[in-house]
Amino acid sequence: MIVDLLEAWGELEAAMPGYVEAEEYATGSVDEVFASSGEVAQKLAKASRHYRFPLISVPVKARVNRCKLVAVKGQNDSVTNRITEIWDANDLDVWYPELFWKTFTFGDAYLMVWPIEDDAAEELEGGSPADDELVASGLEFTVHDPKHTRMLYDSENERRKRVLINRWQIDSGEEDGSRVWRVDLWYADTIEHWVSVKDGQLDTEAGWAEFVEEDPSGAEVRPPVEENPTGEIPFFHHRTGMPYGRPVHELGYGAQNALTKMLCTQLDTSDSQGWPHRWRLLDPDAELDQNSDDPQWLDDEDAPVFGPSGVKAQGGTNTSLRTGPGTIQTFPGTKEVGQFDAADPDIFLGPAVIYIKIMATLTDTPAHHFYPEETPMGAAPSGAAFTKAEAPLIAAVQRLQTLQRGAVREEWTFGLGLLGIKVRPGTLSAQWEPVERATSLEDWQTKLTQQEAGVPVDVTLEEAGYTAEQAEEWRAEREAQEQQMKDQMIELAGAKAAEPPKPGKPPAPGGTP
Average pLDDT of the residues in 488-499: 72
pLDDT tens digit sequence for 230-271: 999 999 999 999 999 999 999 999 999 888 888 877 776 766
Q: Is residue 16's pLDDT more than 80?
A: yes
Give the three-class secondary structure for 144.
strand
Residue 300 makes CB contacts below 8 A (sequence gap 6+) with none
What is the per-residue pLDDT for 469?
A: 65
Angle of helix 253-268 relative to helix 39-48, nearest 10 degrees, comes to 100
Cis amide bond preceding 243, omega within 30: yes
What is the per-residue pLDDT for 454?
A: 79
What is the per-residue pLDDT for 78?
A: 92
Average pLDDT of the residues in 272-280: 69
Average pLDDT of the residues in 450-465: 71
For the chain, helix (H) and strand (E) counts, in that order, are 14, 15
Q: Is residue 124's pLDDT more than 70?
A: no
Give Cα 447 to chain centroid, integer Å: 33
Average pLDDT of the residues in 450-476: 69
Question: Which residue(s) pair with 191 in the sheet?
Answer: 186, 226
What is the per-residue pLDDT for 378?
A: 57
Q: Is residue 502's pLDDT more than 80?
A: no
Residue 133 makes CB contacts below 8 A (sequence gap 6+) with 88, 89
> What percent of the chain is predicted at pLDDT more than 90?
41
| Rounded alpha-carbon distances, angstroms, from residue 181 to 198, 420, 510 | 9, 35, 120
Within 10 Å of residue 485's Cβ, how many Cβ atoms? Answer: 10
What is the rounded CA–CA span in Å between residue 254 and residue 271?
27
Q: Is residue 379's pLDDT more than 90?
A: no
Within 10 Å of residue 135's Cβ, how many Cβ atoms? Answer: 19
DSSP secondary structure letters along 13-44: HHHHHHHHHHHHHHHT-PPPP-S--SHHHHHH
pLDDT tens digit sequence for 145-170: 999 999 999 999 989 999 999 999 99
Q: Is residue 193's pLDDT more than 90?
A: yes
Least confidently predicted of 76-80, 121-125, 307-311, 318-322: 307-311
Q: Is residue 225's pLDDT more than 70?
A: yes
Q: Is residue 304's pLDDT more than 60?
A: no
Average pLDDT of the residues in 96-102: 96
Q: Is residue 121's pLDDT more than 60?
A: no
What is the per-residue pLDDT for 449?
A: 79
pLDDT tens digit sequence for 337-374: 877 776 676 777 778 888 889 999 999 999 888 876 65
Model confidence at 218, in pLDDT bands (50, 70, 90)? low
What is the rounded CA–CA span in Å between residue 289 and residue 299?
15
Higher model confidence: residue 492 or residue 3?
3
Judge contact between 228 and 163, C-beta under 8 A.
no
Q: HEC string of 151-209?
A: EEEECCEEEEEEEEEEEEEEECCCCCCCEEEEEEEECCCEEEEEEECCCCCCCCHHHEE
Q: Is residue 385's pLDDT more than 60?
A: yes
Compute, in degrees rounded to 10, the torsion defined by CA atoms 63, 94, 70, 80: 150
What is the per-residue pLDDT for 375?
A: 53
Least confidently predicted of 243-252, 307-316, 388-397: 307-316
Provide the 8-state DSSP code for 365: -
Model confidence at 316, in pLDDT bands (50, 70, 90)? very low
Question: Which residue(s) pair with 170 in the sheet?
Answer: 180
Compute, in degrees rounded to 10, the torsion defined by CA atoms 500, 502, 504, 506: 120
Model confidence at 305, in pLDDT bands (50, 70, 90)? low
Compute, in degrees rounded to 10, the torsion defined by CA atoms 196, 198, 204, 206: -100
Model confidence at 120, in pLDDT bands (50, 70, 90)? low
Mean pLDDT of the chain: 80
Average pLDDT of the residues in 186-212: 91
Average pLDDT of the residues in 386-413: 91
Q: Is residue 470's pLDDT more than 80?
A: no
Entry pTM: 0.74
What is the per-residue pLDDT for 441?
A: 60
What is the rounded CA–CA span in Å between residue 45 and residue 38?
11
Please, how many CA atoms are within 13 Å of residue 229, restricted to the half-sphere of its CB? 9
Average pLDDT of the residues in 427-452: 75
Within 10 Å of residue 182's Cβ, how many Cβ atoms? Answer: 15
Compute the Cα dihedral for 382, 388, 389, 393 and give only its sign. Answer: positive
Least confidently predicted of 140-149, 320-329, 396-405: 320-329
| Rounded alpha-carbon distances, angstroms, from residue 94 to 72, 88, 135, 141, 285 | 15, 10, 19, 12, 79
Average pLDDT of the residues in 431-456: 73
What is the rounded CA–CA span in Å between residue 343 and residue 45?
19
Compute the Cα dihedral for 326, 331, 332, 335 and give only its sign. Answer: negative
| Rounded alpha-carbon distances, angstroms, from residue 249 to 49, 97, 172, 221, 422 | 21, 17, 38, 45, 39
DSSP secondary structure letters along 73-136: E-SSHHHHHHHHHHHHHTTHHHHHHHHHHHHHHHSEEEEEEEE--HHHHHHHTTS-HHHHHHHH
Q: Is residue 131's pLDDT more than 80?
A: no
Question: Which residue(s) pair with 276 in the sheet?
Answer: none
Q: Is residue 76's pLDDT more than 60?
A: yes
Average pLDDT of the residues in 294-310: 54
Model confidence at 384, in pLDDT bands (50, 70, 90)? confident
Give the three-class secondary structure for 509.
coil
